[in-house]
Amino acid sequence: MSSNEQILKEVNRRKTFAIISHPDAGKTTLTEKLLLYGGAIRLAGAVKGRKAAKHAVSDWMEIEKQRGISVTSSAMQFDYQGYRINILDTPGHQDFSEDTYRTLMAADSAVMLIDGAKGVEEQTLKLFHVCKMRGIPIFTFINKLDRYCKNPFELIEEIEKTLGIQSYPMNWPIGTEGNFKGVYNRELKQIELFNNQQDHGQAVIATTTLSVDNEQLVELLGADLCAQLCEDIELLNIAGDRFDLEKVKAGELTPIFFGSAMTNFGVEPFLEKFILLAPSPAERKTNQGMKSPHEDRFSGFVFKIQANMDPAHRDRIAFIRICSGKFERGLEVNNVRIGKTIKLAQPQQFFAQERSIIEEAYAGDIIGVYDPGVFNIGDTLCDINESFRFEGIPIFPPEHFALVTTKDAMKRKQFLKGIAQIAEEGAIQVFKKPNIGIEALTIGVVGVLQFEVLEYRMKNEYGVDINLQRLPYCYARWVMPENVAKDLVGYSGSIDLVEDQYNRPVLLFKDQWSLNRAIDNNKGAKLYDVAPTNLI
């Protein structure tokens, strides 16, 4: 097999996707169950206290385990039925949405998880729009069918109206009023019965299936549910959208699956269908045109940087999404931003916090490399004989601000190192006053919970206790041209001027009125609510 044929084969069997949801919809649970059915783990970690059992959760940071939420994205890989699956588990909590935005840049599709009782929630809507902007396919898994859920037709209508996307139910629930019996598989025209085992979904379950013509159906489901199912199926077939794979690939139609991740029901049928429908890596936009994943020259970009994943080594890992070619251990690449050749000598792949050295990888794979301080989020890495940039990763404006200092002046060096490294991960944004020292820094975050994480990490990873003095600003805007920025500050006490890490002027506003006034009174100024990457 030639090199090009090998690359084509490997790329086509890659499926790289992110899981998005509102907090508490069951995202980390679904991730575990996909790993369970993929054979990557033997037991899911839903039951606490079984320390001897082999289990894996994607939440690896200690504060995540304490609070029971995800605050950083995780990358996991496993093989299933000849496919190489890359799962990007993302934070559901809105305070950490920036990490999710960046992770979605590395995904080829997304699985949107929805709580069947709550429907489309605020954070789901925000993340959906990011997927929509990228035009990536979206697959919907409506979860928690083992509990009371909304009427499935109401859920479908809510998804279509709220998100502005067509839908096609791949299966249909039987009994959603707290009396869940199973689902009807529309493609196979069979009933898949719900088996509520008492092990909390730790192990793989076998699905019992019946034909819709089976005489036992009325006995198992009851006459009322059977009659309701027949009505629902007829209505879906007459009035529902037609399944169109091209619309799915274009992000215009979402296949919908009903199930229960906690009890494992519906997870395996979803996984089996998903790998057939989800796209393999596609071409990506650069400043020199489109880059095909089947090209023989390596390329990729850094979408995430994480320090101190291994507390014993205090290392820093740059996560790279491979976009083309074949990656081999020890490969030398061009870091386009700094114009230097870098050797990727210890490439690693991840299973939550666990890691292993790899020898090769292909487009669609996520690898981690040790970062001695040469990588930034958004960096393009390519063949040493090429020089181009992938589409930039947007930087969103913070909404909460605080003045941060160290409590111990003797630890100033550790303080600056910790702030710099956490900022390089994209977890916080650092601003400073022009022409003023850096003893006190203005920190901006998207959600207030990030301040708690900052305090925790500074103390536990860098040994520094910090003071946080909240500031009254709630809007940040990058401003051009630079000379206009000082004039804008001069006429109002509710606006402050700072500089970001690239020394670009940023205006902080206390309220919407001040922001509107600045825009109305300065027609020559351009205010950006997403950092313009062309100014870096």
What is the 3 state secondary structure string of 154-209?
Answer: HHHHHHHHHHCCEEEECEEEECCECCCCEEEECCCCEEEECCCCCCCCCCCCCCEE
d(C-alpha 241, C-alpha 397), whole Å: 38
Residues 6+ apart with CB under 8 A from 222: none
Same domain, 257 and 314: no
For the chain, the straight-line distance linking the first and the last C-alpha, in angstroms and rounded, comes to 43
Domain containing 509 equals 400-535
Domain count, the chain: 3
Q: Is 513 contained in some domain?
A: yes
The residue out of 322, 348, 382 marking a domain boundary is 382
Of 337, 354, 382, the last residue of a domain is: 382
Domain holding 245: CATH number?
3.40.50.300
Q: Are residues 112 and 204 in the same domain?
A: yes
The answer to whether residues 375 and 484 belong to one domain is no
Looking at the structure, do residues 352 and 437 belong to the same domain, yes or no?
Answer: no
User: Do residues 515 and 473 touch, judged by C-beta distance below 8 A?
Assistant: no
Task: Look up the CATH number of the domain holding residue 345.
Answer: 2.40.30.10
Q: Give the pLDDT score at 43.
A: 55
Q: Do 368 and 422 lie in a common domain?
A: no
Model-wide pTM > 0.85: no
Statement to judge: residues 355 and 413 lie in one domain: no
Smallest CA-to-CA distance from 104 within 123, 137, 131, 126 is with 131
Count how many residues are written for the chain: 536
| 391 domain-assigned | no
Query: In the listed set 220, 250, 277, which residue is the last one of a domain according to the structure?
Result: 277
The answer as to whether 327 is a domain residue is yes
Is 4 within the bounds of a domain? no
Q: What is the pLDDT along the chain (536 residues), one digit of tens a residue?
A: 778 899 999 999 999 999 888 878 888 889 888 888 887 765 544 333 333 334 444 444 554 455 444 434 467 888 999 999 999 866 544 544 567 778 888 999 999 999 999 999 877 887 787 788 788 999 999 999 989 999 999 999 999 999 999 999 999 999 877 788 889 999 998 888 887 665 555 555 566 777 777 777 777 778 888 888 889 999 999 888 899 999 999 999 999 999 999 988 999 999 999 999 999 999 999 999 999 999 999 999 999 887 766 666 567 888 999 999 999 999 999 999 999 999 998 888 866 556 788 899 999 999 989 888 899 889 999 999 999 999 878 777 888 999 999 999 999 999 999 998 888 888 899 998 876 666 679 999 987 888 988 999 999 889 999 999 999 999 999 887 666 666 666 555 688 889 888 888 899 999 998 888 888 877 777 888 877 554 44
Same domain membership, residue 378 and residue 405:
no
* Residue 491 domain flag: yes
Question: Is residue 6 a part of any domain in this protein?
Answer: no
Strand partners, 479: 527
- Residue 393 domain-assigned? no
CATH code for the domain of 454: 3.30.70.3280
User: Residues 408, 370: one domain?
Assistant: no
Do 273 and 288 share a domain, yes or no?
no
pLDDT at residue number 92? 47
Same domain, 453 and 515: yes
The reply to whether 359 falls in a domain is: yes
Q: Residue 312's CB: how many other CB atoms inside 10 A?
A: 6
Measured CA to CA in angstroms, residue 329 lies from 124, 189, 266, 301, 468 at distances of 38, 48, 38, 17, 43
Task: Identify residue 31 by its one-letter amino acid code.
Answer: T
Backbone angles phi, psi at 276, to 5 degrees: -85, -30
Do residues 98 and 70 both lie within one domain? yes
Q: pLDDT by residue (tens digit) across 186-239?
A: 999 888 888 766 555 555 556 677 777 777 777 777 888 888 888 999 999 988
Q: Do 189 and 305 lie in a common domain? A: no
